[in-house]
Amino acid sequence: MEKQLLHITVNSEYHELYIKPKKLLVEVLRDELGLTGTKKGCNTGACSACTVLLNGASVKSCSVLAMQADGTEITTVEGLADGGKLSFLQRSFLDYSAYQCGFCTSGMLMSATALLNENPNPTNRQIKEGIHGNICRCTGYNSIIRAIKAVADGRYKEKK
Amino acid sequence: MMKKYTVINTPVHNIDGIAKITGRAEYAFDIKLPHMLYGKILRSPYPHAKILNIDTSKAEGLTGVKAVVTGSDTLGIKQGIWRRFKELCDEEILARSKVRYIGEPVAAVAALDEDTAEEALDLIEVEYEPLQGVFEPLEAIKEGAPQLHERAERNINVTRHIEWGDVDEGFKKADHIREDWFRCSSQSHVCMETHNAVASFTPDKRLTVWTSTQSHYYIQVLLSWVLGLRENDVRVVSRYTGGGFGSKFELDSAQFCSSLLSMKLFKPVKIILTREEEFMATKRRTPMFYYLRTGVKKDGSFVAKEARVFTEGGAYTSMGATALYLTGFFQAFPYVWPSYRYDGYRVYTNTAPTSAMRGFGAPQATFCAETQIDLIANDLGIDPIEIRRKNAMYPNYEVPGQATIQSCGLSQCLDKIEKWIKSRGKLPPNRGIGIAAYGFMSGGIFNWFDTPYAFSSAVIQVNIDGKVDLYVGSQDMGQGSNTTMTIICAEELGVRIEDIRLHMGDTDNCPVDLGAWGSRETLMQGNAVKMAAAEAKRQIIEYAVAKLSPNIVYDLDIKDRWIHLIARPERGLLYYDVVKEAIRGKDGQPIIARGHYTPHRKGMISPAYSFGVQAVEAEVDPDTGKITLKNCVTAHDCGQVINPLGVKGQLEGAMAMAAGYGFTEDLPMDEGKILNPNLVDYKVLRATEMPETKVIEVETYEPEGPFGAKEAGEGLTNPTAGALGNAIFHATGLSVKNLPITPEKVLEALREKKKKKGK
C-alpha cells in the first residue's frame, strides 16, 4: 500500500513523515521518531504501557493508527519535563519510588498526567480507577497511588 | 559520637530513577542498530510430535527474507542451566527430531521487517508425525504413559529426598494426624518487557547480545556453549531489564535465534517475543500436587511431617530441579520439626517447561503447609498464632543436615501481627483474617551451574576528584540492586551516593556475579562490594595516617567524606584532599580495590534466611463467591534494612504478585495448549483490586550479611496464597486446597457445605 503523509506535532515539535497507513502510532513514535520512552507490553490494548496524550487525552498508542493522529498534538513521556525541570508527577514518582523495573512507568506517568489534568483533586478510588488500565507487575500499585495523591494534595508546588 | 550509618536506611532516590521517569532508560527492547534485521520464531503447534522434514526453500525465496535457520544449523547440543549434571541438560535450542510442547522453537527467520519475517514463517513447511501426549504428572508417571525423553522412564526427570529424625516413631507419638492433598497451580511471570534480544556477530568472530536478562554471565556462558564460541568472545549487555521474576536467567529463544541468524548474516538481528509467545513458550511457575501427612501433640507441638510432591515439569528440566529441592526444604519452614521426610518427583509432561518463579517452589510449599496448620489448629481448638509461636524457628537453630539459621526474627513478627489482628476487633460477617508464616533464602549455595568463579565480585576505582567507579556483576531487573550496591559502597567507603558511578550489565566491563535470582544480590553482591570498599578505604586511610600521625593506639574511619580518628572524630581530613595525595603517592595510579564473596560451610541451601508473618483480611460474597482483599499486613525480618524505599516496594510488589497466585492468575490448558495467553484473559491484579498494604519491619542483625542485611524481595511471595486461603477459611469455614481460589471454587464449597448441613 502506498505511503501517506502524516502531519503530527510531538512534544511541541512538528513533523511531516511518509508512512505506511497500517502503521500504529506507537510504531511511528518509537521507530520513526526514536521516542523509545513509550513502551509496548502487549500490542492489544490490555496493558497501557504505550499510553500517550493525544490532544491532551490519554490514548493507548498501540490501538491508534498513526494516520488517525494526523494533525494532532501528541505528548509522550519525553515531553513531560521542561528541559531539566521535571514535572510534579515525575518528582513525586522519584520521591515515592513509584516504579521498579520502569517498563510500565512511562504509560503510568501519562495516565496519571491525564487523570490530574481532568480531575486535579481525585480521591484514592478515582486514582485507582484512573490507572486501572495500566498493568504494573513490580510495585503492587500502592507507591504509585501515593505518588499521585501527593501531587493532588499539593505537596509539589512551583518553586519561586 | 558519629552516627552509626550515614547512608544506610535513609530514603534515597533509586539511582536509575531519573532515566526511568524521563523515558531515557534504554532497554534491549529499544535498541536499534544500523542495518538491523528483524527475526521471528516458528514454534511447534503440537504438544508431542516427530519432525520428519523441514523445507525452508519457499520462505527463503520471499522478498525481504535474509536467512532461515533450523536445528540443522545448530551444533545439536542439548543444553540446560544445570551444567554440572549432563543428564539434566536436555533441551536443544532448535528441535531437530522431536518437539515436546506447543511453542517449542523449530526455526527462525530474519528479514528486513517484522511483517516479512512473520509472513515467511507461514512458508516454512514442517512435516510432523504427531505422537500421543501426556499432560498431567500423575498420568505421565504411570507405566505405559507416552515417554518424552529416552532416558527418563515413567517420565521421571528428577527425584529429591530430604529426611531427618525418626518420622515413623514421630507419628507413633502424635495425638493427632492429618492427611491432606493440595494442588498448586501455575503462574506466568508477566514481565512488562517481553523476552527480547539484539545479536550482532562481527567478522572478528565476536558476538554481542543486548538482551533483557537477570544474569548476563549465565547467558554469556550458555550462548558460547551452544554456539561453539569462546566464552569471552561473547559479550552480553543488559543495562535495564523490564522485570524478571525468575523468567530471565535461562537461555531463551530470542537470544539464541537472533544469535544464530546474526552468525549466518554478519548483521544485527533483533527478536522480540510477542505477549502470546511470552505466555506459551517461556518458562512458568511449577504446578505441584502435594500430599501432606502431619502429626502433632494435643498442645499443638509438631512431631512429624511427611510430604510427597509430584510436580508438572513440562517438557524440559530448566530450573525445575531447583524448585523441586527448595519446595521440599521450605515445606518444613519456618518451624522446628523433630522429624521430617520429603520425597519429590519432577515429572516430564508435554507442556511448556516449568521453572523458577519468584519464591521458587516455596510459595507452593507455604500454601500447603500454612493451610494445613490452620486446619490442625482448628481441629485442636488452638489459636493460629499460638500454634505457630509454639513451633517457630529461633536464632541459631540448625535444620538437621540442611541449614544453620543465624538471625531469626520470627517470634517478633508473630507478636506484631497478633497485635494488628487484635486491633481489628470484631469483623463484619463473611469477612476473615488469615495468617501465614514464611521464610526464604538469601542466595543459593548450590553450584549446579558449575561456575569456577567466585559467586560475586566487585571492583572499585577511586579517581582524582574522589568520584568512585563501582563495577558490579549483579543485575538490576527493577528490584533495586543498583541502588542497594551504591548505598553499601557509599556507607563502607564513607562517601555519599552522588560520589559513586555504578557500572553494571555488561560482561565486557563487569566482574562476574551469578545474577539476580534466589534473592542473592543484597547478601552476596553486597558482601563483595563491601569488601572492595573496605579495601579502597584502607588504602586511602594509609595516607591519612601518615599525614595526621596520630598515636599508634588510634584508628581511623571515613564517614560522609570526613577521614577522622574514631575516638576523636573532630580530628580529621577531607576525603577529597587525601584521595588526591594518595593517588600522587601511588605514582599517579588511581586507587583500585577488589572484593568477592562465595559462601563456605553454610549448609546446603543458603547463608542466611529471612522470616516473616503476613495477615490478609478478605471478604467473601456468599452469593457470588467473589473475594475482595481488604487489608494486607506483613511483619518482615530482612535483617538490617539497607534501602527502606526499596524494601517497601519489594514487599508490596511481591504481595500483589502472590495475591494474584492465590486467587486470580492461572494457566488453564487443553492438551498442552494454554487457553488464556493474553493480558485480558490472564488476570494480573489491577490497581483497583489492591488492598491497603502495611509493612512492619522487624530488624535483626544477620552476621553473614553486609551490615547485617538479608533477603527482602522474594520471600514475601510465599505467604499470601496461604494467608488468603486461611482468611476465607475463617470467614466461611471452608478450606480450598486447590489454587487459585476462584469464586467458582468458593461457591462450589459453599454449596457442598449447605448440602451437608441439610442432611
Identify the CA nearest to B595 among candidates B517, B524, B500. B524
> Which residues on chain B are in Cβ contact (under 8 Å) with A11?
none
Fold of B17-24+455-597: Aldehyde Oxidoreductase; domain 4 (3.30.365)
pLDDT digits (tens, 9 = 90+) for B409-425: 999 999 999 999 999 99
Q: Inter-chain contact B648–A39, Cβ cutoff 8 Å?
A: no
Fold of A88-152: DNA polymerase; domain 1 (1.10.150)
Write down the pLDDT at residue B1: 55
Identify the CA nearest to B715 among candidates B522, B453, B530, B451. B522
By percentage, how much of chain B surpasses pLDDT 90? 97
Q: For residue B755, what pLDDT band results from cuts at 50, 70 and 90?
A: confident
- As a residue count, chain B comes to 759
DSSP B525: I
Question: Where in chain A are the domains?
Answer: 4-79, 88-152
Q: Which residues contact B328 (CB under 8 A, 6 or more apart)?
A: B160, B162, B307, B309, B342, B344, B361, B365
* Chain B nearest-CA residue for A98: B649
With beta carbons less than 8 A apart as the criterion, state whether A122 and A115 touch: yes
Same fold, B17-24+455-597 and B31-131+192-243+248-281: no
Q: For residue B2, what pLDDT band results from cuts at 50, 70 and 90?
A: low
Statement: residue B451 has pLDDT above 90: yes
Q: Inter-chain contact A80–B649, Cβ cutoff 8 Å?
A: no
> Which residues on chain B are in Cβ contact (under 8 Å) with A40?
29
A24 touches chain B (CB under 8 A): no
By percentage, how much of chain B surpasses pLDDT 70? 100
Write down the pLDDT at residue B759: 65
Q: For residue A159, what pLDDT band results from cuts at 50, 70 and 90?
A: low
Q: Inter-chain contact B14–A44, Cβ cutoff 8 Å?
A: no
Region B64-84 average pLDDT = 97
Question: Where in chain B are the domains?
Answer: 17-24+455-597, 31-131+192-243+248-281, 361-444+604-758
Region A111-119 average pLDDT = 98
Write down the pLDDT at residue B275: 98
B553 touches chain A (CB under 8 A): no
Alpha helices in B638-742 (DSSP H): 644-663, 720-732
Write down the pLDDT at residue A160: 46
pLDDT digits (tens, 9 = 90+) for B48-59: 999 999 999 999
CA B689 to chain A, closest CA, distance in angstroms equals 9
Statement: residue B112 has pLDDT above 80: yes
CA B113 to chain A, closest CA, distance in angstroms equals 12
Q: Chain B window 29-48: which residues touch A at a Cβ cutoff of 8 Å? A: 29-30, 32
> Which residues on chain B are in Cβ contact (under 8 Å) with A31?
32
With beta carbons less than 8 A apart as the criterion, state whether A35 and A79 touch: no
Residues B662, B432: Cα–Cα separation, whole Å: 16
Q: Inter-chain contact B21–A90, Cβ cutoff 8 Å?
A: yes
Nearest by CB to residue A46, choosing from B13, B25, B678, is B678
Give, in words, the CATH class of A4-79.
alpha beta
What is the predicted ipTM?
Answer: 0.98
With beta carbons less than 8 A apart as the criterion, state whether A61 and A51 touch: yes
Q: For residue B756, what pLDDT band results from cuts at 50, 70 and 90?
A: confident
Region B131-146 average pLDDT = 98
Q: Could you list the beta-strand ranges (E) of chain A.
A: 4-10, 13-19, 51-54, 57-60, 73-75
With beta carbons less than 8 A apart as the criterion, state whether B208 and B237 touch: yes
Q: What angle do CA B139, B144, B146 make, to 5 degrees?
A: 70
Specify the CATH number of the domain B31-131+192-243+248-281: 3.90.1170.50
Residues B277, B190: Cα–Cα separation, whole Å: 11
Nearest by CB to residue B243, choosing from A46, A90, A101, is A101
Indicate the CATH number of B361-444+604-758 among 2.40.10.120, 3.40.50.720, 3.30.365.10, 3.20.20.300. Answer: 3.30.365.10
Q: For residue B404, what pLDDT band results from cuts at 50, 70 and 90?
A: very high
CA A103 to chain B, closest CA, distance in angstroms equals 5
* Chain B nearest-CA residue for A125: B688
pLDDT digits (tens, 9 = 90+) for B31-47: 999 999 999 999 999 99
